[in-house]
Amino acid sequence: MTDLYAPIGHILLYIFLAPLFGGVLVGLDRIVTARMQSRYGPPLLQPFYDVLKLLRKQNLTVNRFHSYFLCWFLVFMLVSGSMFFVGSDLLMVIFAFIVADMFLVLSAYSTNSPYSSIGAERELLQMLSAEPMMLIAAVGLYMVTGSFDVSVIASSGDLLILYLPGVFLGLVYVLTIKLRKSPFDLSTSHHAHQELVKGVTTEFAGPSLALIEIEHWYEMILLLGMVYLFFAFNTILAVVVTLLVYFLEVLIDNTNARVKWELMLKSAWLVTLVLGIGNLFVLYFVFHR
């Protein structure tokens, strides 16, 4: 029974701390963005103010189902993130993550609104572009460490980045897609892109929107956790690299305009094939023969 304390502790830490870290990171994002644009930017804790304000607003809905689906988005995001931080199977973490994203898509579709539906369709295209690379990253990590378990990968002590440079670069590329940063913020965006209003999140108001924001924080911590794994042999280095990668994403966000979905899909798959699968091939033929 005592060996349940650690996993439960990890889960609780994730559930309560991840949104705090996530919010701070988003706040940092906005400040850095503002400074890049020669502005001052909002206070660091602005995302929290936003969420707390949204929670008190009126809950406008189109039908009674789409907010309900959002709750399940949160539930499965928590499941996915908890599984990751408990250290269980990385493939299942990614699959649970996909389920969570599916609930977002279903929620948007169920509103029967044109902007939401376009956003949902584009969200599916984003998933199509990004998921193969994430799963291939998991396979790559397996090939080096011999296990899909996050706990084994994180504690393996191998210089994973040396074996998997291509996979890492590919993962950072699709991270832009998953974090919804320009140039790949097709389905919804934090900036005012009026071409699709707010895409997936158009019909959500008040508490539902707050929920989405919190869910994005959990998502971000999970994704950054995956980046962390590649440098897990040295904690400080890993944290620094993760923050650098995040800064890189902010930089890319500010220097690129949104692209069409075809470019996103083609480039993501090209990167997956060349960097991801290429890395796997090299590993297989060099190390397993």
By CB under 8 A, tell whether 44 contacts other proteins. no
Contact with other proteins (CB under 8 A) among 52, 244, 270, 274: 52
Smaller CB separation from other proteins, 151 or 241? 151
By CB under 8 A, tell whether 105 contacts other proteins. yes
Which residue(s) pair with 149 in the sheet?
Answer: 89
Interacting positions 18-37 with other proteins (CB under 8 A) = 30, 34, 37
Closest CA to 231 of 146, 288, 167: 167
Smaller CB separation from other proteins, 16 or 56? 56
98 token code pair: 């996909």
**Apex CA 174: angle with CA 189 and CA 131, to 5°?**
100
Interacting positions 108-127 with other proteins (CB under 8 A) = 108-118, 120-121, 124-125, 127
Smaller CB separation from other proteins, 176 or 242? 176
By CB under 8 A, tell whether 88 contacts other proteins. yes
By CB under 8 A, tell whether 247 contacts other proteins. no
Smaller CB separation from other proteins, 210 or 245? 210
Contact with other proteins (CB under 8 A) among 28, 32, 148, 165: 148
Contact with other proteins (CB under 8 A) among 28, 99, 243, 248: 99
45 token code pair: 């804790």
Q: How far is CA 107 from CA 60, 104, 194, in A?
A: 14, 5, 21
By CB under 8 A, tell whether 50 contacts other proteins. yes
Those residues whose C-beta lies under 8 Å from the C-beta of residue 118, and which sit 6 or more positions away, are: 196, 199
Angle between helices 207-229 and 46-55 (to 10 degrees): 140
Smaller CB separation from other proteins, 247 or 284? 284
Contact with other proteins (CB under 8 A) among 1, 4, 192, 236: 192
Intra-chain end-to-end CA distance of the chain, in Å = 43
Provide φ and ψ at 149, rounded to 5°.
-75, 130
Which residue(s) pair with 89 in the sheet?
Answer: 149
By CB under 8 A, tell whether 174 contacts other proteins. no
